[in-house]
């Protein structure tokens, strides 16, 4: 066996996990969210910059405001998911670097003084953290429904500010009836890996 992770855990996180399109009405608790974050915060990012920001949409009023920005095919499932998270990249992440990268506090100014550099770094590393977040949701025994079909600028104006760039919206909960589409094919190793 090449993997040390228990096969049941492999299935939970990858093989059997799917993008959910329907959910039960069982709530997702603050304790579950805390457990997810406490796990995924350890995933690596460059300079430990940790630019992912998570906006939880819980109230009915906020949900209505969000749904109006969703693509037609994503509106209904976002309206009914037990919890919705807006994942965004904090383009001012460098302000936290003295705390997060204490052995080189000068990194804040040495590498990230220019806004364009920060935006590129934030987008890449927050997207990496978004992947960790999805795996964390699965590790909690929940299903994630990540989506990029929405009005990015509308969501930014409605829920964020100019220093945050929306990346994706993730519906979270226990999968409901007919939650899965048929699994799409995946590429094989020889289609992806090149050895030089």
Domain boundaries, position 64: 23-175
Which residue has better confidence, 164 or 2? 164
Q: What are phi and psi of 178, to 5 degrees?
A: 50, 45
Report whether 141 contacts 32 (CB < 8 A): no
The model's pLDDT over 115-132, given as tens digits with 9 standing for 90+, comes to 999 999 999 999 999 999
In a domain, 54, yes or no: yes
In a domain, 89, yes or no: yes
In a domain, 187, yes or no: no
In a domain, 48, yes or no: yes
In a domain, 37, yes or no: yes
CATH assignment at residue 54: 3.40.109.10
Evaluate if residue 1 carries a pLDDT over 80: no
pTM (two decimals): 0.95
In the chain, how many domains are there?
1
The pair of structure tokens assigned to 97 is 């670097």
In a domain, 31, yes or no: yes
Percent of the chain topping pLDDT 70: 99
Report whether 72 contacts 169 (CB < 8 A): no
DSSP structure class, residue 47:
G
Chain position carrying tokens 């603050």: 30
In a domain, 27, yes or no: yes
In a domain, 42, yes or no: yes
Q: Report the 10 Å Cβ neighbour count for 88.
A: 27
Can you give the pLDDT at residue 172?
98
Q: How would residue 105 be classed by pLDDT, with cut points 50, 70 and 90?
A: confident
């Amino acid at each position: 066996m090449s993997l040390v992770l228990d096969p049941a855990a492999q299935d939970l996180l990858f093989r059997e996990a799917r993008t959910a399109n329907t959910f039960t009405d069982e709530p997702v608790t603050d304790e579950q969210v805390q457990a997810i974050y406490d796990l995924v915060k350890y995933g690596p990012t460059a300079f430990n910059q940790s630019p992912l920001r998570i906006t939880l949409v819980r109230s009915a009023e906020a949900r209505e405001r969000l749904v109006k920005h969703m693509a037609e095919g994503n509106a209904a499932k976002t309206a009914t998911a037990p919890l919705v998270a807006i994942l965004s990249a904090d383009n001012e992440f460098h302000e936290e670097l003295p705390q997060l990268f204490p052995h080189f506090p000068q990194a804040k100014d040495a590498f990230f003084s220019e806004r364009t550099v920060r935006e590129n770094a934030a987008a890449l590393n927050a997207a990496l953290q978004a992947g960790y977040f999805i795996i964390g949701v699965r590790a909690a025994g929940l299903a994630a429904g990540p989506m990029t079909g929405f009005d990015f600028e509308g969501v930014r104006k409605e829920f964020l500010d100019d220093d945050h760039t929306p990346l994706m919206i993730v519906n979270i909960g226990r999968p409901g009836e007919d939650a899965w589409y048929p699994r799409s094919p995946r590429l094989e190793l020889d289609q992806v890996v090149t050895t030089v």
